[in-house]
Homo-oligomer: A and B are copies of this chain.
Amino acid sequence: MSLAEQPLDLQGAFHVYDTTLRDGAQQEGLNLSVGDKLAIARLIDELGVGYVEGGWPGANPKDTEFFRRARTELDLKHARLAAFGSTRRAGVAAADDPLVAALRDSGAGTACLVAKSHDRHVELALRTTLAENLAMVRDTVAHLRSEGLEVFVDAEHFFDGFRRNRSYALDVLGAAFEAGAELVALCDTNGGMLPPWVGEIVADVVATTGGRVGIHAHNDTGCAVANSVAAVQAGATHVQGCINGYGERTGNADLVAVVAALELKLERPVLPAGALAEATRIAHAVAEVTNVPPASRQPYVGTSAFAHKAGLHASAIKVDPDLYQHMDPAGVGNDMRLLVSDMAGRASIELKGRELGYDLSVDSPEGKELVTRVTERVKILESRGYTFEAADASFELLLVEEVSGRRPAYVDVESWRVITESRSGGEALSEATVKLHADGTRIVVTGEGNGPVNALDQALRTAMGQAYPEVGRFRLIDYKVRILDQGLGTDAITRVLIETSDGESSWVTVGVGANVVEASWGALLDGVTFGLHRGGVRPVG
């Protein structure tokens, strides 16, 4: 069995520790609901990290609620859930500090305690003595250990503190280790470090304390990934980061880039075998939840990360792609793209079709012609703002249309209208009227809702349900809207993704338009149409 084939103990000799839900959530513009946090925790677990830090129980109602719901709703396959908190307040016993109690009661088996290790921060921010701060670290770690928790300590501002007062910074680590902390993560809280400094200090700490050391880096110098890797090379065996490099200011270390450097560049497996190949999908799925548009230039997982402008490179890429790529993009679940040629596009259309059960083999001239036609349509639609990556159902409808020559349709739409109204400052109400024809019958239905899309959805499903009773089982379960070309005001294009369920499974459709209601209408109608089509329902009349 080679090293790579041995099952890894993700909570063992080396940890990958995700702090997206806590430190990542500090990012400007990022505002996660409890449902969002649970969804992100599940996605990050799929990446195979050892720990998912869920938040700071007791510090705000949302994080408390997260840990409450996590007990029953979060079934992590790989990761252990960790709760973030602080050392006890000055002058009180750890057992009497409600925030420490909240950590104990969070249900997380691991607590990560932030501790001050910079003498001036102790005096100016905590406003206590250096000795009391040491006692706070010692007491809190010992108390939580006695309650049966695994305890990590985040040594805040460690690198700056170490440079200013090495002896005191090491005393803080000593207090943590003596009281039973499993490890101390050295935090470059202000993010001002460069890799050689990090490497030197980590090596010094490992040699001096003999304790287990981790790294928590911020990207203020643009070096968070390099700083994290330098720390690991200097002896750190626990590395923290955030998916998509989320975080306050310039963000935290990008977890995928750090892991990729360790696994692919330094040949040190730190995730379960094959997990890194899911990185692109997971990073993009998390971006859907946070609604922070993914950065196309993001290392490894960005849509441009393996995109090559044709020309100088194109012929050589054909001979040997490795000549122009630092790694095989499949290793992180990404794809090579040639920006001018549609080669890559055709291949993925073919694959996608096969995934959906359509034989789009390009071996026959007809197959090749079909794939070319679908590729062209996808390209045109994507240039108008459509996206088919998430909207499988809309893609399948397009495929059926190209294969059979006709788009599945169950009704003729005469017109639709939505009125949203507010009187005397009262709550706004929406009312939608849909007029359809099915099998020669004219159907007119009015629906109400607390928003235009809600009202339209009610009216459309009721109207179609009169001709197709199967529609009665369909429910709209998710609605996402994104303005494309931000900066152009409301003239910009709106893209709507809608998820429809029949109670057993669900499917996603996409609509695009200058008008948000029109974009929603397209996605709603596709949602119902696809549900009927997939159920094998035949159009009436």
Chain A interface residues toward B at CB < 8 A: 26-29, 31, 33, 35-36, 39, 59-62, 118, 120-121, 124-125, 157, 189-192, 194-196, 219-227, 229-230, 233, 245, 247-251, 254, 257, 260-261, 265-266, 289, 291, 293, 295-300, 302-310, 313, 315-316, 319-320, 323-327, 339, 341-343, 383, 387, 389-390, 413-425, 427-430, 449-454, 457, 475-492, 494, 513-518, 521
Contacts and interface: CB of A to CB of B under 8 A. Distances in A.
B342 A60 contact: yes
A503 to B, nearest CB: 14
B316 A121 contact: yes
A428 B515 contact: yes
Given A221-B326, A230-B195, A308 B339 contact: no
**Top 3 A-B pairs, shortest CB-CB distance:** A192-B326, A226-B226, A125-B316
Given A304-B27, A451-B515, A515-B450, A326 B220 contact: yes
Given A191-B326, A325-B190, A514-B450, A299 B483 contact: no
Nearest to A475: B489
A420 B452 CA distance: 9
How many copies of this chain does the complex contain?
A: 2
Given A125-B319, A226-B226, A415-B423, A33 B485 contact: yes
Q: Which of A248, A315, A423 has the most CB of B within 10 A?
A: A248
A226 B233 CA distance: 15
A195 B198 CA distance: 13
A62 B489 contact: no
Nearest to A258: B222
Contacts of A492: 479
A195 B192 contact: no
A35 B487 contact: yes
A422 B521 contact: yes
A310 B190 CA distance: 13
A422 B416 contact: yes
A383 B517 contact: no
A419 B422 contact: no
Contacts of A220: 299-300, 305, 326
A126 to B, nearest CB: 9
B452 A194 contact: no
28 contacts: A26-B343, A28-B389, A28-B390, A29-B296, A29-B389, A31-B484, A60-B342, A189-B324, A192-B327, A194-B226, A194-B229, A194-B266, A196-B230, A219-B299, A221-B260, A221-B265, A222-B224, A222-B225, A223-B226, A250-B298, A415-B421, A427-B518, A428-B518, A451-B490, A451-B514, A451-B518, A478-B487, A481-B483
A162 to B, nearest CB: 15
Contacts of A27: 297, 304, 309
A231 to B, nearest CB: 12
B254 A28 contact: no
A26 B247 CA distance: 29
A309 B229 contact: no
A109 to B, nearest CB: 25
A107 B484 CA distance: 26
A186 to B, nearest CB: 15
B194 A250 contact: no
B225 A223 contact: yes
Contact of A517 (B28, B424, B430, B479): B430
Given A422-B415, A480-B483, A233 B196 contact: yes
A62 B222 contact: no
Contacts of A490: 449-451, 453-454, 457, 476, 479
A222 B257 contact: yes
Given A189-B324, A430-B515, A480-B483, 8 more contacts: A28-B390, A29-B296, A31-B387, A221-B261, A250-B297, A428-B515, A453-B516, A478-B487
Contact of A452 (B189, B343, B390, B517): B517
Contact of A486 (B28, B293, B449): B293
B421 A420 contact: no
